Amino acid sequence: MGVKVAGSADVDDAATIGDGSQVWHLAQVREGVVLGERCVVGRGAYIGSGVQVGSDCKIQNYALVYEPASLADGVFVGPAAVLTNDQYPRAVNPDGSIKDTSDWEPVGVEVGTGASIGARAVCVAPLRIGAWATVAAGAVVTRDVPDFAIVAGVPAKQRGWVGHAGHPLVDEGAGRWSCPVTGRVYQADEDETLREVV
């Protein structure tokens, strides 16, 4: 299949790009990045040093994924979404000197398998977006998101559950939820988590 990198993209020689992946115009992929197979990095997207990206991910136009983020397989990061890495951002130290890399410790956003982060959403590290969860467009996420949860708003709050297909689940009562697309059935547990019923 090979790797396709646009001529205007900036992919560091020390980045690893998986087979079948595409990096589009003006995107920057920094040193130490591991990008899995069959990924798409959109125009103007930025992937910071050492970020780990699984296979079959889509990082859309102008998304910013700062280190030390990690994305599992099948993650979608929408246009202009931001995964931050500085919990207490400042350009200068208290004495007025300019901060450098030794003056702060980066913290990351971990994104679980199949999760989706909508356009212009901001995920404020440190936090985890659970597997198959959905972050609505424009949301500002400041705390962990459970598997299969859908969150929206500023700050983001849980608005319901979604299934593997990304569609809102239907409440069947007694803690059971079903997907109107796939027919899969899920069970909400007492600890406010959701799991697929096998």
Query: How does pLDDT run along the chain (198 residues), one tens digit per residue?
Result: 899 999 999 999 999 999 999 999 999 999 999 999 999 999 999 999 999 999 999 999 999 999 999 999 999 999 999 999 999 999 999 999 999 988 899 999 999 999 999 999 999 999 999 999 999 999 999 999 999 999 999 999 999 999 999 999 999 999 999 999 999 999 999 888 999 997
pLDDT of residue 82: 98
Which 3 state secondary structure label does DSSP give 101?
helix
pLDDT of residue 193: 93
Name the architecture of domain 4-162: 3 Solenoid (2.160)
In sequence order, the β-bridge partners of residue 58 are: 40, 76
Give the domain ranges of the chain: 4-162, 167-198
pLDDT of residue 190: 84
pLDDT of residue 131: 98
Which uninterrupted H or E stretch holds 41? strand 40-41
Q: Cβ(175)–Cβ(189) under 8 Å?
A: yes
Nearest to 77 by CA among 38, 47, 32: 47
List CB contacts of 102: < 8 A, sequence separation 6 or more.
none
List CB contacts of 1: < 8 A, sequence separation 6 or more.
19, 20, 38
The token pair at 134 is 């959905």
d(CA 19, CA 144): 32
Cα radius of gyration (the chain) = 18
Whole-number Cα distances in Å, 112 to 19, 58, 62, 73, 150: 22, 14, 21, 8, 13
